[in-house]
Amino acid sequence: MVAYNYIIKRENKKESNKINRKNIKIIWIISIIIIGFAIIFTKYNSNNENIEDKVIIYSNSDEEAMEAIKNTLDNNGFSDKYVIQNFGTSELGGKLLAEGTNIEADLVILSSFYLDTAQEEKNVLQKLDFTYNLLNDRDKKEYYAQLTSQEGAIIVNTKLLEENNLPMPKSLKDLANPIYKNFISVIDIKSSSTAWLLIQALISEYGEEEAKTILKSIYENAGHHIESSGSAPLKKVRVGEVAIGFGLRQQAVKDKKQGLPIDYVDPIEGNFALTESISVIDKGEKTKPLSQQIAQCIVEKGRPEIQKYYPNALYEGEVTDSENASKYPKTFEEPLTVDLLKKHQQLSEECK
C-alpha cells in the first residue's frame, strides 16, 4: 500500500512538472508575441510620425519625370523631407476632385486640366508664393507651375513595316486605311489621357463627324490592340507585336536614339500636347510651409533634367532642341477641362 501511494505521488509530481513546463512554454510564447507586437507598433508609430513631418507628394508622372524630381530634391537638401506616391492620371484626377482639400497629399503633380477643374469646382489649390515666367503667358496660372509638356506622335517599327510591305503613314487619317488592319495599337481614352492627343488632332482637323468616321476605322484596324495603358502601344511596337502605334513622342525619340528599329511620325493633323503641373493643396493653417519650398525647388532646379526627356521649352531662357522639336505643334481651340475630356470619351465610345 505504501509502495502504491509512493507511485501515485511520483506520477502526480511528474504530471505536475509537465503542466508547469507546458505553462512556462505558453507564457514564453505569449511574451514573445507581445514583444513582437510592441516592436511593430512602435515602428509603425515612428514611421507615421516621420510621414506626418514630411511633405507628401502625389504624382501621375512617368518614371523618368519621377526620377528627375527625386534627384532634384535629394541634391538640394530635401532628401529626407518628402515621400512620393505614384498614381494613374485618371485615378489621381478623380481622387483630387472627390476629396478636395481632404486629400492626404500636400503637393500634387498632375495633368494641368485636372488641376484647372479642381480649382474651379472646389478651390483646392494654394497660390504659389514664388514667381516664374512662361514662354506663353496664356498658360500661366497663379496656383500651379508647369513641369512637363508631352506631345503625341505616330510610332512605327521600321523593320515590321518593311517585312510586311506597309507604307510609312504620314497622318492619323492614314491609320484608317484597311491595309493596316491588325498592325495598329492605340489607346482607350477612358483609361489614359494620352489617347486624348489623338482625338484632339482628329477633331481639330476634320470636325467631330468626320473624326468619328476615321476613329471608327482606326479602332477596327486595331482590333484587340486598343490599350488601357498609355505606354502599351510603344511597348507592342518595340517588341514587334504590331507595326504602328500612337503614343508619346519623347518615348519614341528615346528608343530611336538607343538604336532600336523605332521611328516616329509627326502627323500632319498636328502634335497636340498635354502638360503636367505642380500645385500645393490649400489646407489652411495645416498647410506645411515646406510644400511651397519643395514646389519652388522642383520648378527652378528640376527643369534641366526634366527637359532631357521632355524636350519642349516651357520657361523663359529654355530652348527646345531642334533635333527633338516636333514639326506640327498645335493647341486645341477649346480650353482642356474634365468636362471636355468626358465629351470626347463619349465620342470615342460611339466609335467602338
Question: Could you report the per-residue pLDDT of 237-252, keeping only the tens digit for each?
Answer: 999 999 999 999 989 9
pLDDT in tens, 31-76: 566 665 545 544 444 444 466 789 999 999 988 899 999 999 999 9
One DSSP character per residue, 130-193 reads S---BSSGGG-BTTBEEEEEEEEEEEEEHHHHHHTTPPPP-STGGGGSGGGTTSEEEE-TTT-T
Mean of the pLDDT values across residues 152-161?
97
Residue 172 to residue 177: CA distance in whole angstroms: 10
Mean of the pLDDT values across residues 63-92?
94
DSSP type of residue 330: E
Least confident window among 45-59, 90-104, 162-176:
45-59
Q: What per-residue confidence (pLDDT) applies to 324?
A: 79
For the chain, the helix, strand and coil percentages under 3-state DSSP, each to the nearest 5:
55, 20, 30
Which residue matches cell numbers 468619328?
Answer: 212
Q: What is the CATH number of domain 150-272+342-349?
A: 3.40.190.10
Share of the chain above pLDDT 90, in %: 75
| From the candidate CATH numbers 3.40.190.80, 2.60.200.20, 3.40.190.10, 3.40.1440.10, the one assigned to the domain spanning 56-149+277-322 | 3.40.190.10
Q: What SS3 class is residue 11?
A: helix
Kindly give, in sequence order, each residue whose CB lies less than 8 Å from that of residue 62, ignoring residues fewer than 6 positions away. 231
Q: φ, ψ for residue 143 (rounded to 5)?
A: -110, 5
Q: What per-residue confidence (pLDDT) applies to 25?
A: 58
Which residue ranges make up each domain of the chain? Answer: 1-53, 56-149+277-322, 150-272+342-349
Q: What per-residue confidence (pLDDT) applies to 32?
A: 65
Nearest to 113 by CA among 144, 142, 135, 151: 144
Residue 230 to residue 275: CA distance in whole angstroms: 15
Residue 321 to residue 257: CA distance in whole angstroms: 14
Domains 56-149+277-322 and 150-272+342-349 share a fold: yes
* Average pLDDT over all residues of the chain: 88
More confident residue, 47 or 152: 152
Task: Yes or no: say if 236 and 203 are a contact pair by the CB < 8 Å rule.
Answer: no
Task: Yes or no: say if 68 and 309 are a contact pair by the CB < 8 Å rule.
Answer: yes
